[in-house]
Amino acid sequence: MNEMEIRDVLSYLPHRFPFLLIDRVRECEPGKRIVAIKNVTVNEPHFPGHFPDRPIMPGVLILEAMAQAAAILGFRTMERRPDDKSMYYFAGIDNARFKRPVVPGDQLEIEVLYGPARRGIGKFSCTARVDGVLVTEADLLCALRPVAPRPGT
């Protein structure tokens, strides 16, 4: 499965609206790279407050979209899907740079390259582009960790 529509994306991420930030995957080569799409729309819940007269997608949400794309790549590489026994957490962000604002109507194209993984922590090199122009870049660390059972279960 190279391309992934939203139903496929939902099967690899535990996120749901309003925090699901990947709409589609154009390409996925497990163990190598993923190219994912986030359509930025004016009706997203953060825009009325960031900023009312000039809506800009918060940089932390661009980083989160990158992390979600990295999670899909990580799960596809491990040949597994999320379950209730573990979580794929953000473990670190290095070298984050924001080159220009992302606004409603933009389409983020997120490319994530799979790096070395050690002791359950994967390193990913990420870029986000709009119309081929680099808007954000960062190196992310993500960790697959067990989740303690909920009390009473």
pLDDT band at 96 (very low <50, low <70, confident <90, very high): very high
Q: Is the peptide bond before 18 cis (omega within 30 degrees of 0)?
A: yes
Inform me whether the pLDDT recorded for 55 exceeds 80.
Answer: yes
Residues 20-46 have pLDDT tens digits of 999 999 999 999 999 999 999 999 999
Q: What is the pLDDT of residue 145?
A: 87
Catalytic residue among 15, 26, 33, 50: 50
- Look at residue 137 in the predicted model and tell me its pLDDT: 98
Report how far residue 92's alpha carbon sits from residue 123's, in angstroms, rounded to the nearest whole number: 9
Q: Name the H helices within 19-130.
A: 59-78
Q: Residue 65's closest CA among 86, 81, 51, 44?
A: 44
- More reliable by pLDDT, 110 or 119: 110
Is-catalytic flag, 50? Answer: yes
Please say if the pLDDT value at position 146 is more than 90. no
CA gap 23, 44 in Å, rounded: 13
Higher pLDDT, 152 or 100: 100
* CATH number belonging to domain 6-146: 3.10.129.10
Task: Look up the pTM and report it.
Answer: 0.94
